[in-house]
Structure 1
Amino acid sequence: MRHRLRQLTAAPHRLEGQRARNDTRAWVVKRRERTRQLIELGGLVAEAGLVELTDDDRAVLFGLMVEAAVTLRGDDSEHALTLWRRRGRRAFADNDAEL
C-alpha cells in the first residue's frame, strides 16, 4: 500500500520535472543556461584544487577571484591572460591525458 502511495505522489513530480526541462520560454532558457554556466565554473574551481587548498574557505576563494579581476583591469592584463591561458590549456591537456 505504501509503495503504491509513493508511486502516485511521485508521478506528478516526474511530470513537473519533465515540463520544466522542456520549457522553452526565453527567460527559462536563459536561466537554465546561466545555471549551467555557474555549475561549470564551480567545477573549474574544484578541478583546480582550490577547494582543498583553501579548506573550502569561500572568502579566500572570492579574494583570489577579486585579485584576478584587479590584475585584469591593470596594465599587465594581456600578459596575465596569456600566462593563465597557457597554464589552463596545459592543465586541461594533462587532465585529458589522465583519463
Structure 2
Amino acid sequence: MVNRRERTKQLIELGGLVAKAKLVDLTDDDRAVIYGALLNVAAKLRGEERDQALTLWRRSGKRAFANDTDEPSR
C-alpha cells in the first residue's frame, strides 16, 4: 500500500507528465478531453494491441526524456 506522501508525489509527477506532453495547452485545459484521451489509452492497453502500444510508447517516451524535449517522438 502506498502511503499518503508517496501517493501525493506520484500524483504530482503524473500531472507533470500531462503538462510536459502539452496536453493542458493542446486541449485548452479541458479536463473532459484529457480524461477521454486517457480512457482511450486505457482501452488500448486492455486490447490485443497492448504489447505493441507499450513498446511504441515506451520507446517514444524514453527518446523524449533523453532529448529532454516536450515534443513526442515516433
When normalised by structure 1's length, the TM-score is 0.66
Greater helix proportion: 1
In the alignment of these two chains, the number of paired residues is 69
Root-mean-square deviation (Å): 1.6
- Which residue pairs with 1:91 in the alignment? 64
Q: Deviation per CA, 1:65-95, whole angstroms, max 9, x where unpaired?
A: 1000000000010000000001101110111
Larger RCO (alpha carbons 8 Å, 6+ apart): 2
Q: If the length of structure 2 is used for normalisation, what is the TM-score?
A: 0.88
Query: Percent identity, aligned pairs only?
Result: 64
Distance of 2:63 and 2:29 partners within structure 1: 24
Q: Does 1:63 align with 2:36?
A: yes
- Aligned equivalent of 1:82: 55
Structure 2: tracts of 5 or more residues without a match: 70-74
Moved >3 Å (runs of 4+):
none
Q: Rg: which structure is higher?
A: 1
Give the corresponding residue for 1:50: 23
